[in-house]
Amino acid sequence: MHGRVKVRTTEEEKARKEKEKQEKLKVFKHAMQKIWDKRKKEELDLELMELTGKVLTSNPDIYTLWNIRREILNIFRKDMESEGQQLVDLYDAELRLTEYCLKINPKSYCAWHQREWVLTTRSNPDWKTELALCNKYLKFDERNFHTWDYRRFVISQCKPSLKEEFDYTTEKLLDNFSNYSAWHYRSKILVDLHPDLEAGRPIEDEHHKHELKMVESAAFTDPDDTSAWFYQRWLLGAVKTTVDLVVCTISPLKTTVAFNEPVSKDYVQMTTNLLINDVSVNGEWLPCEGKKYNNVWIFKHNEIIGDNFDIKVEYNRENVDKLTILCIQKNSLYIGRNNISFQRKYSEPVIKELKKQLDSCRQLLTMEPDNKWTLLTTTFLLHCINAKHYHNEVIDILKTLQIKDKMHAGYYGDLITKWSIELQLEDDYRNEELELKVKFAEKISSLPHLHYYSFCENVNLFNQNLTSRVLSTLSVLQHCKKLSLENNNLTTLKGFPSLNLEELNLRGNKDLDMKEVEIFKQQNNYNVIF
């Protein structure tokens, strides 16, 4: 079904080909019929081996025929006390057959699996030969993922040192830097070979730095070769991340807690404790988004919340000192905020390397100012080194990319939104801001980190680029009373969550259907402005 080019032929040629096919088909059908007959009569013998083998050499994906062969081999295995010469020969023949089939179709799942089955079934498999076979096949096609998978299977059996396999990826990469399969395999071995046990980072400093250098020499050789850039993006993300409580909100109506990452009910129960006037409150945790793992959890309890209460939330993680968050009263709400930061934190040597690479990128850009990959890498390096300091430059480059790499304009738009919101969030938390309104010039196209604003009673998303795909995300706005989506690009209200609003402003969404809004109004008991 893949890669078969349609060729124009004469009628004569066509007829000749058809005749050829019909002859082949006759032979095929005859052989298959014979196979089914013998199987039905339970004649699982060498003749059936021969028959199935013949058909498989030209059709290696007829899975049932491989099953039949395994059934026959199993019978021979059970019949013989020890693995006699005949069985050894049969296994060897089976390996030869799979090798033959793989020559015809190197992507035949069935043939690869048969090979694996033979080697795990027979005694004394020769793993060295298998590894040599992998090397040979990978020389022929360095990207065949079946061969790489088979290699990992062989390695799991004969267990050479990790270092040897790591060096193999180096060798493959020095041969061709655009071998994505080798970068992939390298990423797997690297974290096993050089984890940073002390600082809890995924990769040990010196090696992290070394890998960055390797990427530099690869990517800067040919910036349009994408493989190394994906590896670099991963290296940049290899920082320590931990789950953290972000904000707790207690009103007379509802108590919620938001975490930076989705967490399970067990986790909230185990770590989080509400104290009112120094008495621990009993209650039940309910998921805000109705799933097993949620960013926002609702705490259902029977306490009546009045003015000037002393409200605290204790957050007790494993291996970390207990954190007590004071919830401060603002109007009818008590809000307890944690310290937040989105800045990635690297070790000193790694930061130094990143700065060096930033310089190289800038140099490349003076020669080739339009190169997408250099531009994108520059933004990521800037963002990772100091997101706040370089913010304006980052946004400018992303806007340039939206024009130069139009195909991915949607991605760059969402990235501008995300990084701008992150910067604003840090400010809003520091300034104990009570409302959400967008304070930067770029229009937002999505709602990342919205759960950080779960405490807001007033959410003003006036005049943005939001479409209906974001509606379900609004479910985290558990305390919101006034929500404005005025002047956005909503096309439907399908997916709008159930919220305890007082007012929803939908004006200026010109593709919204009047009828749909009318029905929506009837279904909800708050004021809908349209």
Partner 1 sequence: MSFNTKDVVLKEDRPKTLLLQKHSDYLAGYGLNKDDYEYCMTEHIRMSGIYWSLTAMELMDQTSRMPKSEIIEFITSCQDTESGGISASIGHDPHMLYTLSAVQVLAMYDRMDAVDVDGIVRFVTSLQQPDGSFFGDKWGEVDTRFSFCAVMCLSLLQKLEAINVNKAVDFVLSCMNFDGGFGSKPGSESHAGLIYCCVGTLSICKRMDALHADELAWWLCERQLPSGGLNGRPEKLPDLCYSWWVMSSLSMLNRIHWVDKNSLEEFILACQDAETGGFSDRPGDIPDPFHTLFGLAGLSLLGNSSIKLVNPTYCMPQETIDRLKLEPQVLHV
Residue numbers 10-29 binding partner 1 by CB under 8 A: 18, 21-22, 24-25, 28-29
Q: Which of 103, 128, 143, 430 binds partner 1 (CB under 8 A)?
A: 143
Q: How far apart are CA 458 and CA 483, in angstroms?
A: 6
Q: How far apart are CA 485 and CA 505, in angstroms?
A: 6
Q: Which of 77, 404, 443, 481 binds partner 1 (CB under 8 A)?
A: 404
Give the count of beta carbons closer than 10 Å to the beta carbon of residue 221. 11
The answer to whether 291 contacts partner 1 (rule: CB under 8 A) is yes
| Residues 295-334 contacting partner 1, CB under 8 A | none
Scanning the structure block, which residue is given the tokens 């940073």? Answer: 196
The answer to whether 61 contacts partner 1 (rule: CB under 8 A) is yes
C-beta of 495: minimal distance to partner 1 in Å? Answer: 9
Q: Which of 137, 231, 419, 452 binds partner 1 (CB under 8 A)?
A: 231
Question: Which 3-state string (H, E, C) describes 146-210?
Answer: HHHHHHHHHHHHHCCCHHHHHHHHHHHHHHCCCCHHHHHHHHHHHHHHCCECCCCECCCHHHHHH
Residue type, 38: K
The answer for residues whose C-beta is within 8 angstroms of residue 234's C-beta and 6 or more apart is: 187
- Length of the chain (residues): 530
C-beta of 224: minimal distance to partner 1 in Å? Answer: 6
Q: Give the interface segment with partner 1, choosing from 209-217, 249-257, 390-398, 410-418 (CB under 8 A).
A: 410-418
The answer to whether 352 contacts partner 1 (rule: CB under 8 A) is no
Q: How far apart are CA 172 and CA 144, in angstroms?
A: 14
Q: How far apart are CA 314 and CA 274, in angstroms?
A: 7
CA pseudo-torsion sign 204, 187, 365, 382: negative
Residue with Cβ nearer partner 1 (183 or 299): 183
Q: Which of 100, 127, 230, 342 binds partner 1 (CB under 8 A)?
A: 230
The answer to whether 470 contacts partner 1 (rule: CB under 8 A) is yes
Q: Output 91-97 pairs: Cβ under 8 A, ≥24 positions apart.
A: 91/118, 91/121, 91/122, 94/69, 94/118, 95/119, 97/53, 97/56, 97/57
Q: Give the interface segment with partner 1, choosing from 209-217, 338-346, 463-471, 505-513 (CB under 8 A).
A: 463-471
Residue with Cβ nearer partner 1 (254 or 372): 372
Question: DSSP labels for 263-299?
Answer: EEHHHHHHHEEEEETTEEPP-EEEESSSSSEEEEEEE
The answer to whether 370 contacts partner 1 (rule: CB under 8 A) is yes
C-beta of 439: minimal distance to partner 1 in Å? Answer: 20
Q: How far apart are CA 365 and CA 401, in angstroms?
A: 13
Residue with Cβ nearer partner 1 (185 or 299): 185
Q: Give the interface segment with partner 1, choosing from 109-117, 206-214, 298-306, 309-317 (CB under 8 A).
A: 109-117
The answer to whether 293 contacts partner 1 (rule: CB under 8 A) is yes
Per-residue tokens: 493: 């209200």
Contact of 32 with 55, CB cutoff 8 Å:
yes
C-beta of 467: minimal distance to partner 1 in Å? Answer: 8
DSSP 3-state of 504: strand
| Residues 145-174 contacting partner 1, CB under 8 A | 145, 148-149, 152
The answer to whether 237 contacts partner 1 (rule: CB under 8 A) is yes
The answer to whether 489 contacts partner 1 (rule: CB under 8 A) is no
Q: Which of 105, 273, 472, 489 binds partner 1 (CB under 8 A)?
A: 472
The answer to whether 1 contacts partner 1 (rule: CB under 8 A) is yes
The answer to whether 494 contacts partner 1 (rule: CB under 8 A) is no
The answer to whether 6 contacts partner 1 (rule: CB under 8 A) is yes
C-beta of 328: minimal distance to partner 1 in Å? Answer: 29
Q: Write the CA distances from 205 to 163, 201, 346, 350, 483, integer angstroms.
A: 18, 9, 9, 7, 46
> Which residues is 13 bridged to in the sheet?
none
C-beta of 212: minimal distance to partner 1 in Å? Answer: 14
The answer to whether 342 contacts partner 1 (rule: CB under 8 A) is no
Q: Which of 446, 487, 488, 509 binds partner 1 (CB under 8 A)?
A: 446
| Residues 245-284 contacting partner 1, CB under 8 A | 262
| Residues 63-92 contacting partner 1, CB under 8 A | 63-64, 66-67, 70
